[in-house]
Structure 1
Amino acid sequence: MSESYSPLQEPLGLPERSLPMMAAPAITEPDAYPYCHSVLSGIISGIDTATIIASTLMAASIEPSIIHQDWHLALPLAEMMSALGFMMIPKNRALLYVPTVRQPAAQIRYLAPPLLIGALLHTVVLYMLHHPLAPSLKLSMAWLLISAFFLFLVRFFEIFLLGRPAIARQLARDIAVVGSDETALRFASRIANEAGSTYRMAGVFDDHETAQNPQITDGTLLDLIAHSRENPLHAIVLAIPPAADPVDHVATIIWQLRSVLSDVYVVPNTVHGIDVLLPIEQLGPFPLLVLQRRPLSDWQVVKKTILDGILGTMALVMLSPLIIGAAIAIKATSPGPVFFMQPRLGFNNRMFMIFKFRTMYTDMSDRMAARQTARDDPRVTPVGRWLRRLSIDELPQLLNVMRGEMSLVGPRPHAPQTRADGMLLDDALAEYVIRHQVKPGITGWAQVNGARGQLVTLDDLRRRVALDLEYMQRWSLRFDLKILFLTVMREVVSRHAF
């Protein structure tokens, strides 16, 4: 990381003042830079729901012994209304933001109001059913104490876990800043010095001549792209100086960063002409304009991962006889290994080894895909021809799915040396790299629309990339299930496979 962050003034001779668009004093409290981790908030809310249901059931089993009476349907109804009240009453979701979610006092403020309202509903229901007020209050207090005990017990255990260094590091957001003037460096300095463990500065990058000075920046935009492949970023903030055509300048930078998997923001008031209708998001005390989002949100990634895990496991179990039969046929008809492994470009432009059934003669295999497989290719074995025709050769990729390298549905991964019109794919079409912002799939929207098999022309590549980008824009669980269904119906036996 560049030395220009702290102390910033010494190497640059900059005066002591804050960022131009932020006159507010520096904020150094531990929760000055909160952010919403939607998956974490959802998990905690789900645990709260499960805990309140369990504690309510426990209270229901204990309460009759408190009053030595059986109030028939009154008690179950009161318990149900209390639990529903706790779950349905709006809560201050900001108290579940990181790092506030790790603060005991904040969590007491989060849980106390719905607990008290739940207890009040408990009393009101019993009283409206014509039960005496005194025992009704006693039963409501029992529900409140039991529910509060278990909710706070679970919450403090969660706080303990979230405070562990390994988990805290996972929850930290990594930020890179693009720019090299005073605005960019001050922005980076304040994030690095004030955000605590909530945000981590990945560096300041720029293509300006100052980018050659390691005392000021951490490299060029190409360095930022290379860094993001090994260390994924959550946000890139453009804090760039005014330009003759600011909109075009911003668009150029975004296009250069098109392969980077990250949300992209721009600091307002430093670039004039940016659409005022752009959404605004807070990063601590800093308002930022949202220029670009990752194709899938955190929750969408979780849903897709769960779908892959469930359906992938089911497919492995159900198709195991077919997989074993194919392996035996390959081994019995030609010498060499059963599996063929080949490097492919995957999620976030990272390389991984893809598993396939070997369909070629061992001495003719093309591990680097310098030559694409063609129809009636002499390198393909007789058994391999049928495996490819029926798409059975792709089944070992279920192992890649279980390893987290692939998804059941997504853009098909290509070998690094694959070419269209004699050009490498990312050279042939600039938009090609964008498809690496989601995991590659065993099947995809392009495949069920007939865009599979050999890539020959640039038009072939354009059509596939257009369909892949359409898939990324339209993604939903239902869309994935539709593609899987269409794969079985249309593509298991395909005239495009050979």
Structure 2
Amino acid sequence: MNCLAPFCWPISWPRGRFFLFPRNVPLLDVPDLTRISYQIRYLLPPVVFGGVIFCTVLVMLSWPPGVTLRMGAEWLVFVVIALLIERCVGTYIVQTHAVTRRLARKVAIIGSGAEATQMASRINARMQRIFRLVGIFDDQGGNVDGTIETLVLHAREDHIDAVIICLSPAEGGQQQVMDILWRLRGVLADVYVVPSLMTEDCHGWPVERFGPFSLTVLQRRPLSEWDTLEKRAFDLTASMLLLVALAPVLGLVALAIKLDSRGPVLFCQPRQGFNNRYFNVFKFRSMYTDMADMDAARQTSRADPRVTRVGKWIRRLSIDELPQLFNVLRGEMSLVGPRPHAPQTRAGGQLLHEAMEEYVARHRVQPGITGWAQINGSRGELVTRDDLRRRVVLDLEYIRAWSIWLDIKIIFLTIKREIFSRNAF
């Protein structure tokens, strides 16, 4: 097996071949910010830099050297006192039980041997301020909280930050670890393993400290917490501006739909989204009400008799997707991301997650109104497994390469290429 296999997450065909490179954002290496040494380490450089800049500005303004030094000393005293008060208050708040429990990283352990029990005991006894144990999971039974499948289902309902594979040598080696990693491909959590289980010489893998333990990183979440916050802020700002700018268009389209055929203006359909959770997506109704397919068991095709006269135009111009801006405001979608599909959508006669096992990896980020696959021509009806494979490959490329600038680029290319796309119908 290739040394980089678990790090780059490759899967050879027929399973597909994709690469989800982990971002270098340590999760388990969380400093104890209540310690004075950490506070000084973080605050001293910016305070010194700020003092130098302050004095430099005074010198450039031709202030006398004596006055500059006195003003610099007064500024330094003021900043130190202000930071001291702020840090004392902040440290007190952070140490309260409610805040500690909310900020604690949720960790799940896979294994049922002595090694797993020892790590769980360490978390419960000495690391509760930073980490909270979700449970111990293993397929072998014993004193555990459930199977690995139970963990996968639990991760969909309750957020988990990290999964630590801590098997005993008797329970399995590197191949067993890789099998477990494959089963966790749809779990939105960082995955770690005890280095002793990795039998091959893989010195290039990142390692993080977890108390007295050293853990090898197998998989990271696609977006860090800061990335997620940055993306959400952009989505909220842009979607509100778009709703204001497009309000006349939305109103005219709603009126045209109402005059063209009987039924509601909006069509709501369940879709599978972030972390494999279901939500209702909003679209302008483009089909006759009595012919609508809530589960999308039959995909829309060209010259589909179910589509209304107005529906043909709004689908061709992709205007039917605009109400999804409200899904973005609700936090269910992003402006850019893999397109969500209805539960019964099929490719090659199979449900999407059955037709391609890697499909669930798309749900590690929020679904989008548009995406990298759509601007590269992969949109419309999924007829064959090759159609699905191309779309999943492009979606995973987007996840791996995400940046806020890539989102902006995709939005502009969507306007340029996709509004008049020949694949839209």
* TM-score, with structure 2 as normaliser: 0.87
Identify the match of residue 394 of structure 2 among 467, 470, 473. Answer: 467
| Equivalent-residue separation in structure 2 for 1:229 and 1:206 (angstroms) | 18
Residues 243 and 249 of structure 1 are in contact (CA less than 8 Å); yes or no, is this contact kept in structure 2?
Answer: no
Find the counterpart in structure 2 of residue 384 from structure 1. Answer: 311
| Equivalent-residue separation in structure 2 for 1:166 and 1:404 (angstroms) | 25
Deviation of the 1:159 alpha carbon: 3.3
| Equivalent-residue separation in structure 1 for 2:57 and 2:305 (angstroms) | 80
Find the counterpart in structure 2 of residue 342 from structure 1. Answer: 269
Identify the match of residue 362 of structure 1 among 289, 293, 302. Answer: 289
| Equivalent-residue separation in structure 2 for 1:455 and 1:119 (angstroms) | 61
Q: Does 471-480 or 115-124 show the bigger shift?
A: 115-124
The within-5 A match list for 1:219-368 is 219-242=146-169, 246-273=173-200, 275-368=202-295
Q: Does 282-291 or 143-152 show the bigger shift?
A: 143-152
Find the counterpart in structure 2 of residue 77 from structure 1. Answer: none
Residues 242 and 272 of structure 1 are in contact (CA less than 8 Å); yes or no, is this contact kept in structure 2?
Answer: no
What is the root-mean-square deviation of aligned Cα atoms in Å?
2.7
Find the counterpart in structure 2 of residue 435 from structure 1. Answer: 362
Structure with more contact order per residue of length (Cα contacts < 8 Å, sep ≥ 6) = 2
* Residues 292, 318 of structure 1: alpha-carbon distance in 2 compared, 3 angstrom cutoff: same
| Equivalent-residue separation in structure 2 for 1:114 and 1:350 (angstroms) | 42
Find the counterpart in structure 1 of residue 83 from structure 2. Answer: 151
Deviation of the 1:439 alpha carbon: 0.4
* Residues 421, 126 of structure 1: alpha-carbon distance in 2 compared, 3 angstrom cutoff: closer
- After superposition, give the CA deviation of every residue in 1:91-130 in whole Å (9 maximum; x if it has no partner): xxx9xx55x3345785366546764676688779989989
| Equivalent-residue separation in structure 1 for 2:63 and 2:356 (angstroms) | 75
1:141 to 2:73 alignment: yes
Deviation of the 1:151 alpha carbon: 2.7
2:195 aligns to what SS in structure 1? Answer: coil
Unpaired runs of 5+ residues, structure 2, are 1-24
Find the counterpart in structure 1 of residue 117 from structure 2. Answer: 185
| Equivalent-residue separation in structure 2 for 1:463 and 1:123 (angstroms) | 58
Deviation of the 1:153 alpha carbon: 3.4
Find the counterpart in structure 1 of residue 324 from structure 2. Answer: 397
2:263 aligns to what SS in structure 1? Answer: coil
| Equivalent-residue separation in structure 2 for 1:124 and 1:447 (angstroms) | 52
Residues 270 and 280 of structure 2 are in contact (CA less than 8 Å); yes or no, is this contact kept in structure 1?
Answer: yes
Identify the match of residue 371 of structure 1 among 295, 298, 311. Answer: 298
Paired residue type of 1:268: P
Paired residue type of 1:351: Y
The alignment covers a number of residue pairs equal to 400
Q: Does 306-315 or 142-151 show the bigger shift?
A: 142-151
| Equivalent-residue separation in structure 1 for 2:190 and 2:324 (angstroms) | 30
| Equivalent-residue separation in structure 1 for 2:86 and 2:260 (angstroms) | 59
Paired residue type of 2:130: T
* Residues 334, 166 of structure 1: alpha-carbon distance in 2 compared, 3 angstrom cutoff: farther
Q: Once the two structures are aligned, what percentage of the paired residues are identical?
A: 51
Paired residue type of 1:296: L
1:101 aligns to what SS in structure 2? Answer: coil
1:269 aligns to what SS in structure 2? Answer: helix
Q: Does 138-147 or 197-206 show the bigger shift?
A: 138-147
Q: Does 436-445 or 299-308 show the bigger shift?
A: 299-308
Paired residue type of 1:224: L
Select the structure of larger CA radius of gyration: 1
| Equivalent-residue separation in structure 2 for 1:381 and 1:434 (angstroms) | 35
| Equivalent-residue separation in structure 2 for 1:392 and 1:137 (angstroms) | 63
* Residues 427, 274 of structure 1: alpha-carbon distance in 2 compared, 3 angstrom cutoff: farther
Paired residue type of 2:295: M
1:488 aligns to what SS in structure 2? Answer: helix
2:413 aligns to what SS in structure 1? Answer: helix
The within-5 A match list for 1:207-226 is 207-208=139-140, 211=141, 213=142, 216-226=143-153
- After superposition, give the CA deviation of every residue in 1:439-486 in whole Å (9 maximum; x if it has no partner): 000001111111111111111111100111111111111211111111
- After superposition, give the CA deviation of every residue in 1:333-386 in whole Å (9 maximum; x if it has no partner): 211111111110000001111000111111111111111111111111111111
Deviation of the 1:205 alpha carbon: 0.8
* TM-score, with structure 1 as normaliser: 0.74
Paired residue type of 1:226: L
Find the counterpart in structure 1 of residue 384 from structure 2. Answer: 457
Find the counterpart in structure 1 of residue 16 from structure 2. Answer: none
1:198 to 2:125 alignment: no
Deviation of the 1:417 alpha carbon: 1.0
- After superposition, give the CA deviation of every residue in 1:259-310 in whole Å (9 maximum; x if it has no partner): 1011111112244336232111011221111111111122211221121112
Residues 104 and 128 of structure 2 are in contact (CA less than 8 Å); yes or no, is this contact kept in structure 1?
Answer: no
Residues 258 and 265 of structure 2 are in contact (CA less than 8 Å); yes or no, is this contact kept in structure 1?
Answer: yes
